[in-house]
Amino acid sequence: MLHLKKPVETEIEIKKSRFIGMLFPVENEQQARETLALVRKQHPSATHHCTAMIIGNIQRSNDDGEPSGTAGLPMLECLRHEDLDNVLAIVVRYFGGTLLGTGGLVRAYQQSVTSAIKLAELTEPVTMQEYEVILPYDLYSRADQLLRKNATVEDTDFSEQITIRFLSENNLDDQFMAISSGTVRPQYLGNKTVEREIKK
C-alpha cells in the first residue's frame, strides 16, 4: 500500500464547471471528517463536495448530491487502482450551468482525482533493521563511506568514541568486521518501519 506524503490540489474546468481535486493524508475517520469540514469552510459556495477515503479496511465514498454513483465511487476506484491507503480525496465542484450527464460526471470526477495523484508525492512503508555501532575516530571515514552506500544514518554521537545509529535492509556485520580488522560489530536493535519515497 502507498501513502501520501503531503496534501495536493489540482483544478480542471469542463464546460464551465470547475472541479478542484484534493488529496489528504489521514490517519482515521475523525481526521477525515475534520478535513472535509475545513474544505467546506474554504469553499462555502461550491455546489458539491464529493469524497472518497481509504483508511485500512475502511472504504467510503459520498456523492454529496450528484446523481448516485457518478462521483464518490469513481473517485474511490481511482484510489484503489493506485493502491493508496490512509488517504482522503475531495473534489469540490462549482457548477458552470451545463449538465454533463452521468458519463461526463464519472469522467470529470475520475480525472480530478487522477490528476491529483499524478502530482502527489507517494511513499511506501518498508521494514528496515535498526543497528547501533560504536567505533573509534580513526574508523569513522571508512564507516561513513560504508553507511552512505548501504544504510540510512539516523543519529551520530561524537563522544569519546563515535556512536552511530542506522537503518539497513542488510546485515553489515561482515563489512564492519572487514574495515575494523574484526574489532567492531554493529548491535541489532530491532525492526523499524519507515516510509520510502516512490520515484516516478
Residues 59 and 75 in one domain: yes
Residues 8 and 104 in one domain: yes
Residues 96 and 60 in one domain: yes
Residues 133 and 181 in one domain: yes
Q: Which of 120, 150, 172 is the last residue of a domain?
A: 120
The pLDDT of 16-20, averaged and rounded, is: 95
What range does the domain containing 193 cover? 125-197
Residue 98, pLDDT score: 86
Residues 93 and 136 in one domain: no
Cα 103 → chain centroid: 30
Per-residue model confidence as pLDDT tens digits over 84-143: 999 999 999 999 888 899 999 999 999 999 999 999 999 999 999 999 999 999 999 999
Residues 91 and 9 in one domain: yes
Residues 145 and 85 in one domain: no
Residues 114 and 136 in one domain: no
Question: Mean pLDDT, the chain, as a whole number?
Answer: 95
Q: How many Å is the maximal CA-CA distance in the chain?
A: 77
Residues 110 and 167 in one domain: no
Domain CATH for 138? 3.30.70.240
Look at residues 91, 72, 84 and name the one whose alpha carbon lies nearest to residue 121.
84
pTM for the full model? Answer: 0.80
Residues 70 and 137 in one domain: no
Per-residue model confidence as pLDDT tens digits over 26-59: 999 999 999 999 999 999 999 999 999 999 999 9
